[in-house]
Amino acid sequence: MKILIIGSIAAGTSVAAKARRNSEENEIVIYDKDTDISYAVCGIPYAIGGEIPDFEELTPRDAKWFKKRYNVDIFTSHEVIAINHEKKEISGKHLITGDLFTDNYDLLVFATGSTPKAPDAFEESNFSNVFQVKNINSGKKVKSFIENKKPTTAVVVGAGYIGLEVAEQLKERGIKVIILQRGKHPMSHLDWDMSIRIEDEMVKQGIDFRPEETIQSLVGDTQLDEVITNKGTKLSADMYILATGVRPNVALAQSIGVKLGKAGAIATDNTLQTNIPDVYAVGDVAESFHVITGKPIYRPLASTANKMGRIAGDAMTGGQLRFQGVLGTGILRFFDLTIAQTGLTEKEALAEGYEVAVLSNIKPDKPDYMHGKEMVIKAVADKLTHRILGVQIIGPQGVDKRIDVFASTITLGVTAEDLFHMDLAYAPPFSTTKDPVAYTGMALTNALTTAPLITPHDLMELQKNNENITIIDTRDPKSYEKNHVLNAINIPLAELREKASTLDKSKKTIVYCNKGVTGNASQNVLRSKGFKEVYNLSGGNKNYQEIFKHSK
């Protein structure tokens, strides 16, 4: 049997490696129009910035290595142009010599990846100082431009993963950075009350972030001199980075009748086979499905590409591996912050019809005496089943450990109660006695049973609608005077038992402290004294003030 793979980055080489491990009998051939194979595409921004000294570190393997290790033939700079599936034959062109070639197959794999999108204004342009980060060669061009032209200003278009990673690296090289974003906030896949914390980091680092601003027209000849935005602003920079997302390279597959899914990428079954027998699709060109909803999604991540490749390589050679979906787990470093997400956001969960409990949990990764630093954990749970639906975390350290725990537990369908009972590792250099994961479970369990939470946004909506509510700040008077929730009265917890009788038990009551713990204690006091409807403000005053600042 002959397996022919189009594409040799993450997914394609994973298919080949697993298929070869399963069988020495099959002939395996890979064609790729690029010059490099199996490279670490996610490391490119850090090579541009010099954090990774040499691009060669991102390309540890070449075609000769693969041939020797796996007996797989890889042909780089070979573009497959056409496929005759009835004859099971491909034809293409050697991009260096111009020679034409043909080959045949028994099984065909599309690992053709994705292509960066460009804003409409750039569709027909070709400027020497405009770049997209899409492969090793494009990354080298950016770095060469920086080293040779010594730019002092840059405009980055897009505030997703690539946009923020490149912006960080440019700023670290002393380049002044402006980020333009189509939406209101960076990292638009996060809930807005989390992404605003990234905006604060931009201010701290001197990044000029311009939301809801897009490029409408360009001024320049061979070099882009100026852009004009939808707000009429004229911006001039030495270099421009386009990072507005990617689209799957599906044209070749469509030419033989391969069907796309609802998410716009190639639809497959759980073996990664398409609607056409003996034709597979893996990596950025393929659609995934969500572990929680079961619905198609497009989340082009290197981790998923490698996983898909292994599964397809196993399944096509008689193995039992099957694709089980994704949670869309992702993580990003942006200066002093780590930003991570897994599962459904609050917005996504509500759109799916879930009635949710939402917790904002502000906890240090380890004790203060071990220099712990606070992270913000936003967790979303289903009120009906108590299942954890999704988590977002932002903080300076310890975020990666927690998001992986949450991703594991969400995959297994655990409830809020289960989180508390997990036996997690503890020692002062690594965690607190009640790890932020366990504390999230505790607080969510309370919220789902006897001690409901209210989000700052929902409280603001009540105030906006002039609801008849009581808001109690249970901190000390000094903290209250510094800042407090609009229309809140100050009754410290130590005085609450005595003064509770002066309050209207029938009114909806919201209590809060700085971050939530004392608020919960105050909530319990009022509940025990017969108050009918008492809510604890999720994340306390600290979370409220952050959201209030960005709501003005």
- The alpha carbon of 262 is separated from its chain's Cα centroid by a whole number of angstroms, namely 20
In a shared domain, residues 437 and 413? yes
Helix axes 302-315, 11-22, angle to 10 degrees: 30
Look at residues 215, 244, 273 and tell me which one is the last residue of a structural domain.
244
* 168 and 154 belong to one structural domain: yes
Give the dihedral sign, CA 153/159/162/164.
Answer: positive
Distance CA 386, CA 409 (A): 13
In a domain, 51, yes or no: no
Round to whole Å and give the CA distance between 272 and 283: 10
In this prediction, residue 551 carries a pLDDT of 86
Both 232 and 157 in a single domain? yes
Asked whether residue 466 is assigned to any structural domain, the reply reads yes
Residue 204 lies in a domain: yes
- Asked if 340 and 387 sit in the same domain, the reply is yes
10 and 107 fall within a common domain: yes
Residue closest to 459 by CA, chosen among 544, 346, 369, 542: 544
Give the residue from 191, 520, 541 showing the smallest Cα distance to 356.
191
- Is residue 47 included in any domain, yes or no? no
For the chain, state the CA radius of gyration. Answer: 27
Q: What is the CATH number of the domain that holds 506?
A: 3.40.250.10
Token readout for 523 is 């909530």
Look at residue 152 and tell me if it is in a domain.
yes
Q: Does a structural domain hold residue 323? A: no
Shared domain for 293 and 346, answered yes or no, is no
Annotation marks residue 42 as catalytic? yes
Q: Tell whether 71 and 149 lie within a shared domain.
A: no
> Do residue 287 and residue 374 come from a single domain?
no
Same domain, 142 and 181: yes
Same domain, 304 and 351: no
Which uninterrupted H or E stretch holds 176?
strand 176-181
pLDDT 10s digit of each residue in the chain, 552 long? Answer: 999 999 999 999 999 999 999 999 999 999 999 999 999 999 999 999 999 999 999 999 999 999 999 999 999 999 999 999 999 999 999 999 999 999 999 999 999 999 999 999 998 788 999 999 999 999 999 999 999 999 999 999 999 999 999 999 999 999 999 999 999 999 999 999 999 999 999 999 999 999 999 999 999 999 999 999 999 999 999 999 999 999 999 999 999 999 999 999 999 999 999 999 999 999 999 999 999 999 999 999 999 999 999 999 999 999 999 999 999 999 999 999 999 999 999 999 999 999 999 999 999 999 999 999 999 999 999 999 999 999 999 999 999 999 999 999 999 999 999 999 999 999 999 999 999 999 999 999 999 999 999 999 999 999 999 999 999 999 999 999 999 999 999 999 999 999 999 999 999 999 999 999 999 999 999 999 999 999 999 999 999 999 999 987
Q: Report yes or no: 179 and 207 within 8 Å, Cβ to Cβ.
A: yes
Tokens of 435: 């790890």
> Would 55 be classed as within a structural domain?
no
Q: Are 326 and 290 in contact (CB under 8 A)?
A: yes
Answer with the one of 244, 279, 294 that is the final residue of a domain.
244
For the beta carbon of residue 145, count every other beta carbon within 10 angstroms: 17
Letter for the amino acid at 445? T
**Spatial distance between the Cα atoms of 199 and 206, rounded to a whole number of angstroms:** 11
Choose, from 21, 23, 42, 247, the residue flagged as catalytic. Answer: 42
- Alpha helices, H only, 215-366: 251-254, 302-315, 346-351
CATH of the domain at 400: 3.50.50.60
Instruction: Residue 6: give the domain boundaries.
Output: 2-37+60-113+248-315
Q: What is the reported pTM?
A: 0.96
Which residue stretches of 412-491 are H helix? 416-421, 436-448, 456-464, 477-482
3-state SS class at 340:
strand
Out of 189, 215, 244, pick the residue that ends a domain. 244
24 and 85 inside one domain: yes
- Tell me which residue has tokens 């809060």: 512
What is the DSSP secondary structure assignment for residue 259, as one 8-state letter? P
The tally of domains found in the chain comes to 4
Residue 339 lies in a domain: yes
Per-residue b or e along 196-211, where b marks 16 or more CB atoms closer than 10 Å to that residue's CB: bbbbebbeebebebbe
Statement to judge: residues 86 and 15 lie in one domain: yes
